[in-house]
Amino acid sequence: MSRIAICAPATPITREHAAALEELVAAEFPQHSVWFHEQCFEKSGHFAGPDIRRMEALVQCANDPGFDIVWFAKGGYGSNRIAQAAIARMNDAAREKTYAGFSDCGYLLGALYRAGIGQPVHASMPASARSERGREAVRRVLRWFSGDNSGLEPSLDGQTPAVAFNLITLSMLSNGPMMPDLTGHVVMVEEVSEHLYAVDRLFFQLSNALPRVAGLRLGAVSNVPENYTDFGQTPEQIAKFWCDRAGIPYLGRAMIGHTADNRIVPFGLASPAAGQ
């Protein structure tokens, strides 16, 4: 059995979100147990409680040897505000865990990877369990927790280390104290709800900040707002343009993003599933 602790480093979820996941796990994944930290349901303005409360909840889940996995409840914005303080307080038990999430929680995944703490994993989050398409994304993660690797990003080859980030999150991490060394990695990026000119601007920033990576893959660029004028390039054309300019091999598409098709990407070399 995998014992899964769920906390909300950024924005809150509702008790209905929690109930939907609990029902799914009980019906289809009895080999797992899920426990929601009460902090998940708290609200302080935009955030799931004040910074100190979110940080303490994350540290409690990470440092408790009774849990195998820490699953971030939802993205939004806010995990960057607590990541460094939380990691500084993590103990030996925290180093044995899997940490799963994506989007804004990429700040935490990147910081954990840099610190060598546990196994960070780009994966869909519990907040998606209320819709039918979202439940399939959540099932994909729960299957991986069970030892089923069918939900991994198809391009992972087990030989080249990889990471996956939301584009703006990785751009904000770059050249900062939480940025991991991505030399030799395949870097996968996706974005949601940004104009294409903003996507271009983020690639401009990253193309000058990434080290000698093995290559870049582009995931979904979804929910692009309509601009007053057409940008003139597709997301893939933008990615290729900046990769060419920076001398980064463009490797094609990846099945990651803010969609129900979001695939799992363990940071580093694709390791055995979390439950193994």
User: How do residues 148-194 score in pLDDT, each as one tens digit?
Assistant: 999 999 999 999 999 999 999 999 999 899 999 999 999 999 999 99
Q: How far apart are CA 132 and CA 232, in angstroms?
A: 35
For residue 211, the model assigns a pLDDT of 84
For residue 273, the model assigns a pLDDT of 52
- By DSSP bridging, strand 215-222 and strand 186-192 are parallel
- 8 A C-beta contact, residue 68 and residue 95: no
- Domains of the chain, CATH where assigned: 2-149 (3.40.50.10740), 162-253 (3.50.30.60)
pTM for the whole structure: 0.96
Q: How far apart are CA 134 and CA 262, in angstroms?
A: 10
Three-state SS for the chain is CEEEEEECCCCCCCHHHHHHHHHHHHHHCCCEEEEECHHHHCCECCECCCHHHHHHHHHHHHHCCCCCEEEECCCCCCHHHCHHHHHHCCCCHHHHCEEEECHHHHHHHHHHHHHCCCEEEECCCHHHHHCHHHHHHHHHHHHHHCCCHHHECCCCCCCCCEEEEEHHHHHHHCCCCCCCCCCCCEEEEEEECCCHHHHHHHHHHHHCCCCCCCEEEEEEEECCCCCCCCCCCCHHHHHHHHHHHHCCCEEEECCCCCCCCCCEEECECCCCCCCC
Kindly tell me if the per-residue pLDDT of 272 is higher than 70. no
Q: How far apart are CA 171 and CA 208, in angstroms?
A: 10
Q: How far apart are CA 158 and CA 160, in angstroms?
A: 6
CB atoms within 10 A of CB 186: 23
For residue 275, the model assigns a pLDDT of 47
Kindly tell me if the per-residue pLDDT of 271 is higher than 70. no
For residue 208, the model assigns a pLDDT of 85
User: How do residues 91-130 score in pLDDT, each as one tens digit?
Assistant: 999 999 999 999 999 999 999 999 999 999 999 999 999 9
User: How do residues 210-264 score in pLDDT, each as one tens digit?
Assistant: 989 999 999 999 999 999 999 999 999 999 999 999 999 999 999 999 999 999 9
Judged by average pLDDT, the poorest of 28-37, 57-66, 196-205, 262-271 is 262-271
User: How do residues 39-92 score in pLDDT, each as one tens digit?
Assistant: 999 999 999 999 999 999 999 999 999 999 999 999 999 999 999 999 999 999
Q: How far apart are CA 30 and CA 106, in angstroms?
A: 28
- 8 A C-beta contact, residue 62 and residue 86: yes
Kindly tell me if the per-residue pLDDT of 276 is higher than 50. no
- 8 A C-beta contact, residue 102 and residue 75: yes
pLDDT band at 1 (very low <50, low <70, confident <90, very high): confident
What are the tokens at 107?
């700040």
